Amino acid sequence: MTRQTYGLIEAGGTKFVLGIAHGPDAVGKTARIVTTSPEETIAAMLAWFAERGPFDAIGLASFGPVELDPASPSWGHILKTPKPGWSGTDLAGPLAQAFSCRVGVDTDVNAAALAESRWGAGQGQRCVVYLTVGTGIGGGAVIEGQTLRGLSHPEMGHIRTPRHPEDSGFAGVCPFHGDCLEGMASGPAVIARYGRSLSELPADHPGLEVIAWYLAQAAVTVQAMLEPGRIIFGGGVMKTPGLMERVRIDAEKLGGGYFRGLPAEVIVRPGLGERSGLLGALALAQEAA
């Protein structure tokens, strides 16, 4: 059997991580390019891959919103986004055209959920949810080995949560909803309220309690919707010391002992660490091939 070669892309709002994989699970060479204008970023991406093809397939794990309907003329395009210049950008088309291969596309978080369910913290689980808490908040889900899609991909970062009792004065930073989950608990929401990132605040600062409480609300909402075997929390904000433990404790209280999944077991960190995005792209490439 000949070895398969896959091109991998984790397309983010601040950087694109590129990789090459040979075979089922080994990611070889990788590179990072800074996300600037679509023209510049796509040109740099194509140039890096051009020296490393041909490919059996390419996996594209993209920031959202991204069109996932293969029947749509906008398939693989970035949809309406506040990120300047990127609305309507075709990400998948230039790849398919340049390398004459199939391109598997999904959101970064759906792809991360897929990688975690295959190789990471979600192995053996029927349903796995991946939530990333960073510049934004996003969520993806895998059910019975398939990523969850409806009319579009899930938008779990924009669920509504009740307000923390001591967080009444803050309007929230989501340009669409104000005080949705992302508006209240993302990295920019923390800085807008407290002037610093969560990990830079003193350990006894009330902000830690407030943010943990919102994230626990999200976990309990996800439990009520899907009752997943694992809710995997990734992203920069989750590196704050003590945050994960607080989220588990609050989710236990908020859930009232009702759900089958015990927060202490269900709420976990990524098993693949920082690699879940790129391995997600690998999983997408394998499916596309």
- Residue type for position 143: I
Least separation in angstroms between CB 158 and Zn ion:
4
Q: What are phi and psi of 211, to 5 degrees?
A: -65, -40
Least gap, CB of 106 to Zn ion (angstroms): 21
Calculate ∠ Cα 268-152-146, nearest 5°: 50
Whole-angstrom distance between the N-terminal and C-terminal Cα of the chain?
15
Interface stretch with Zn ion, choices 17-25, 96-104, 172-180, 258-266 (CB under 5 A): 172-180
> What is the distance between the alpha carbons of residues 55 and 255, in angstroms, rounded to a whole number?
47
113-121, 170-178, 217-225, 271-279 -> range binding Zn ion (CB under 5 A): 170-178
Is 282 a binding residue for Zn ion by CB under 5 A? The answer is no
Closest distance of CB 137 from Zn ion, Å: 9
Q: Which of 126, 163, 177, 269 binds Zn ion (CB under 5 A)?
A: 177
| Residue 173 sits in the site that holds Zn ion (CB under 5 A) | no
Tabulate helix, strand, coil % of the chain (nearest 5). 40, 25, 40
Query: Which is nearer to Zn ion, 149 or 158 (by Cβ)?
Result: 158
One character per residue 106-145, x = contact with Zn ion (rule: CB under 5 A):
----------------------------------------
Q: Which CB atom, from 52 or from 158, has the smaller least distance to Zn ion? A: 158
Cα separation, 233 vs 118, in Å, equals 16
Q: Which of 51, 54, 62 is nearest to 91 (CA)?
A: 62
Among 61, 121, 127, 180, binds Zn ion (CB under 5 A): 180
Q: Pick from 33, 110, 97: which is nearest to 287 by CA?
A: 110
Helices (H), the chain: 38-50, 92-99, 108-119, 181-185, 187-194, 206-226, 243-255, 263-266, 276-288
The single residue among 52, 126, 158, 246 that binds Zn ion, judged by CB under 5 A, is 158
Label the pairing between strands 146-147 and 230-234.
unpaired
Of 15-23, 88-96, 155-163, 273-281, which part binds Zn ion (CB under 5 A)?
Answer: 155-163
Total interface residues for Zn ion by CB under 5 A = 5
Site for Zn ion contains 174 (CB under 5 A): yes
State the minimum distance, in angstroms, from the CB of residue 278 to Zn ion.
Answer: 27
Give the residue with the Cβ less far from Zn ion, 105 or 173: 173
Say which DSSP state 27 is in. Answer: E
* Interface contacts to Zn ion, rule CB under 5 A: 158, 174, 176-177, 180
